[in-house]
């Protein structure tokens, strides 16, 4: 899948970004966290973007920061203020309501799994963990590309059933929806990575950056940070768990406009006031909004955001799932800076199953 995605990205943007035949620094930067599956996803996409015609493997560098300094996922080591903001969320009215309203379904799940004590523990911190772990387990059984046996799910937890949908919805709230409840939590989780992306823009000659992470970071945070909403359905993108093979593309054009494409459908960045309801909007407004999400040094012990440059630039964010979907891409987010005003139609409204097109609602 990722090789095909890389090939499609090259077809759409290779010429505009003058990527060349190999991923050479400083034009290309590839970064992953220290999980093997995220590194493998980055490798596969890069191989698709930079095919070697002679059949030999092309060597390229992958930047893998130490976990204690990596902001790809929410990380209290990188931004200590995140922990306090997370506690505010866990004590919020919305969190307490989810605890109360989920009690009946949790009782059923506990009986089916034989873990009633764990599922009836109404501590919000417990639910934030247990729903995510359960979803990871279910997805590993449901996904045909995961080599796990047996594939059959316990009676009552079948795909598309009431409990399945409940688990997906609750996991989405506790992992992604929380950023709509506690805005500071969003800043302290995604802010450090946004700072890194802006710093990328200051590097002379940089055209392409690839960040390979997880569905819970950076994908979920990026959907929330931009407030993305599908233009055709009006549905909030962050209300749906990033599905297998999802991709978010953000195009920045030389006419100072930006466009957002998520899973092959144009999305509006409703988190940016000037972009609400618009298929394209002002680049400066988008960048100013993202810049506002970067905590200053006093808040988060991070450097202030440097002024960005004007290179044509492409940054890709890949997201592999949690524990059991080892080595497989779950979702990706892509920023594209292009020096032309013509809108690309190659990556919009592609047929289901094509490269760059993941499942929707």
Q: What is the DSSP secondary structure assignment for residue 255, as one 8-state letter?
A: T
Mean pLDDT by 10 residues, the chain (361 residues): 86 87 88 88 88 71 90 91 94 96 98 96 96 91 75 89 96 92 92 89 83 85 93 93 77 86 91 94 92 87 42 55 32 46 48 36 49
pLDDT at 217: 82
pLDDT at 292: 94
pLDDT at 52: 76
Q: Are 6 and 357 in contact (CB under 8 A)?
A: no
Q: Are strands 246-252 and 257-262 parallel, antiparallel or unpaired?
A: antiparallel
pLDDT at 329: 34
Can you tell me which residue has the tokens 């002379």? Answer: 204
Q: Which is nearest to 358 in space by CA: 249, 217, 271, 256?
A: 249
Q: Are 176 and 241 in contact (CB under 8 A)?
A: yes
Beta strands, E only, the chain: 28-32, 208-214, 228-230, 246-252, 257-262, 265-269, 280-282, 314-320, 329-337
Using CA atoms, how far apart are residues 195 and 290, in angstroms rounded to an integer?
A: 9
Which superfamily does CATH assign the domain made up of 2-79+187-337 to? Phosphoglycerate mutase-like (3.40.50.1240)
DSSP H helices, 143-262, are 162-172, 178-181, 183-201, 219-226
* Per-domain boundaries in the chain: 2-79+187-337, 93-181
The verdict on pTM exceeding 0.85 is: no
pLDDT at 132: 93
Tally of residues, the chain: 361
Residues with Cβ within 8 Å of residue 33, at least 6 apart in sequence: 64, 65, 67, 70, 72, 73, 212, 213, 214
Return the C-alpha torsion angle 206, 207, 208, 211, nearest 10.
Answer: 50
């Amino acid at each position: 899948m990722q090789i095909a995605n890389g090939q499609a990205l090259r077809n759409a943007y290779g010429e505009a970004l003058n990527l060349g035949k190999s991923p050479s620094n400083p034009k290309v930067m590839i970064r992953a966290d220290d999980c093997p599956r995220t590194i493998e996803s980055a490798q596969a996409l890069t191989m698709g973007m930079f095919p070697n015609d002679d059949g030999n493997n092309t060597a390229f560098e992958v930047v893998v920061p130490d976990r204690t300094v990596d902001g790809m996922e929410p990380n209290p080591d990188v931004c200590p203020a995140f922990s306090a903001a997370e506690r505010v969320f866990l004590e919020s009215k919305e969190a307490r309501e989810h605890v109360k309203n989920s009690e009946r379904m949790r009782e059923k799940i506990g009986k089916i799994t034989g873990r009633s004590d764990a599922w009836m523990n109404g501590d919000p911190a417990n639910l934030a963990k247990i729903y995510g772990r359960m979803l990871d387990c279910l997805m590993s059984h449901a996904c045909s590309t995961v080599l796990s046996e047996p594939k059959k799910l316990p009676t009552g937890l079948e795909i598309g059933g009431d409990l399945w949908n409940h688990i997906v919805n609750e996991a989405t709230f506790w992992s992604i929806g929380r950023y709509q409840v506690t805005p500071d939590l969003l800043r302290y989780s995604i802010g450090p990575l946004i700072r890194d992306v802006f710093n990328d823009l200051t590097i002379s000659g940089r055209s392409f950056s690839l960040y390979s992470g997880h569905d819970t970071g950076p994908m979920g945070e990026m959907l929330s940070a931009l407030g993305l909403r599908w233009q055709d359905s009006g549905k909030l993108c962050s209300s749906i768990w990033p599905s297998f093979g999802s991709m978010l593309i953000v195009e920045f054009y030389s006419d100072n406009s930006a466009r957002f494409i998520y899973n092959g459908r144009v999305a509006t960045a409703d988190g940016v006031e000037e972009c609400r309801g618009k298929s394209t909007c002002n680049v400066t407004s988008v960048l100013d909004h993202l810049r506002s999400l970067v905590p200053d040094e006093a808040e988060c012990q991070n450097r202030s955001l440097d002024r960005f440059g004007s290179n044509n630039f492409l940054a890709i964010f890949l997201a592999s799932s949690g524990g059991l979907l080892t080595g497989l891409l779950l979702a990706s987010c892509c920023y594209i800076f292009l020096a032309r005003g013509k809108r690309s139609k190659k990556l919009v409204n592609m047929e289901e199953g094509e490269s760059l097109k993941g499942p929707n609602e």
